[in-house]
Amino acid sequence: MKITVIGHLCLDVIHHADGTETQSPGGIYFSVAALAHLLTPPDTVVPVFGVGKNDYDSITGLLGRYPSVDTSGIFRMNAPTNQVHLEYRDSKNRVECSRNIAEPIPFKKIKPHLDADVVLVNMISGFDVTLETLDEIRMEVRDAKTPVYMDVHSLTLGVNEDDTRFLRPLDAWRRWLFMLHGAQMNEDEAAILSDTRYGENDLAKQILALNTTTFIITRGEAGCTAFVDSHKHIQRHDFAGIPARGTVDPTGCGDVFAAAYCAHYGKTRDILRSVEFANTVAARKASLTGSDNIDVLAAFALPGEEGTVRS
């Protein structure tokens, strides 16, 4: 099985509510590192993103140590690598400041890696790919019926003059969420997505009417909800939260959730079991600071190749 992951890398500076500070790779790194531990050879994960020239060797070296990661999709940029400051007021509320946001990833960098079993598009910065590039991805994989899963993430974030981010409705959200296997967002993103401010059930009806199969809302410690289109009938499934161990750091939990879902779904084609698996893995990530010690996710590793179902 091959999973291609598309999105921006970040260098995270996390300012914790207790006054401490940690620095670690973030953004798409969380999804890739999670997949690196959830997949075992011959399964592979191929990240596609750009990185500043000064950081290229360290990032490719960091990810290249995992036998399941193919770094051929990582490319050098003339611009510096994204840097994101995350200032937590408490375990749930934070102020995000994004600096050096990279240019959108061009389709020519993505196309060679679309011979995949699952494609994960994670909108880390909100500018990771253009809508036109997403359309090109959908068209490229349509005949193979390859599932495209998108974490909406920062698509709902605008940028202030001081580089801080703010929630705002997403223009053309129906075009963004059209013809996907799955669309993922958290509660705040779901609430702000449309100017109409649909309730969750009504928003699910709107999204699943776009030929998208499942819509997932993550709720942090409170678990998640999956809406599934089953023969034009929408089913809602709520999954309870799983308490995190020790101090809770939500940074990257949504990225890990998306990765875990794609890994499990790629092997089973079972939406609900994959959501349950993702909910469990993301809860374990919540007990880790930043991307430190993410190797513990290897405890959830899925068997290589055996059980893989290709579209």
| pLDDT at residue 116 greater than cutoff 80 | yes
Q: Give the whole-angstrom CA distance, residue 102 versus residue 21.
A: 24
Structure-token pair, residue 34: 């999670």
pLDDT band at 51 (very low <50, low <70, confident <90, very high): very high
Average pLDDT over residues 127-153: 97
Class of domain 2-298: alpha beta
For the chain, the structural domain boundaries read: 2-298
Strand pairing of 118-122 and 165-167? unpaired
Task: Report the DSSP beta bridge partners of residue 69.
Answer: 45
With 0.85 as the threshold, say if the pTM is over it: yes
* Whole-number CA gyration radius for the chain: 18
Structure-token pair, residue 182: 């799955």
DSSP element (H, E) containing 47: strand 44-52
Q: Look at residue 120 in the predicted model and tell me its pLDDT.
A: 98
Q: Look at residue 305 in the predicted model and tell me its pLDDT.
A: 58
Q: Look at residue 303 in the predicted model and tell me its pLDDT.
A: 87
- C-beta separation of 223 from 238 below 8 A: yes
Q: Give the whole-angstrom CA distance, residue 206 versus residue 270.
A: 23
pLDDT band at 71 (very low <50, low <70, confident <90, very high): very high
Residues 150-170: pLDDT tens digits?
999 999 999 998 888 899 999
Q: Look at residue 84 in the predicted model and tell me its pLDDT.
A: 77
- Amino acid type, 167: L
**What percent of the chain clears pLDDT 90, i.e. is strictly above it?**
73
Q: Give the whole-angstrom CA distance, residue 1 versus residue 120.
A: 13
Q: Give the whole-angstrom CA distance, residue 84 versus residue 201.
A: 33
pLDDT band at 247 (very low <50, low <70, confident <90, very high): low
- C-beta separation of 117 from 269 below 8 A: no
Average pLDDT over residues 111-136: 97
pLDDT band at 90 (very low <50, low <70, confident <90, very high): confident
Average pLDDT over residues 69-74: 97
**What percent of the chain clears pLDDT 70, i.e. is strictly above it?**
96
Polymer length of the chain: 311
Residues 189-216: pLDDT tens digits?
999 999 999 999 999 999 999 999 999 9
pLDDT band at 307 (very low <50, low <70, confident <90, very high): very low
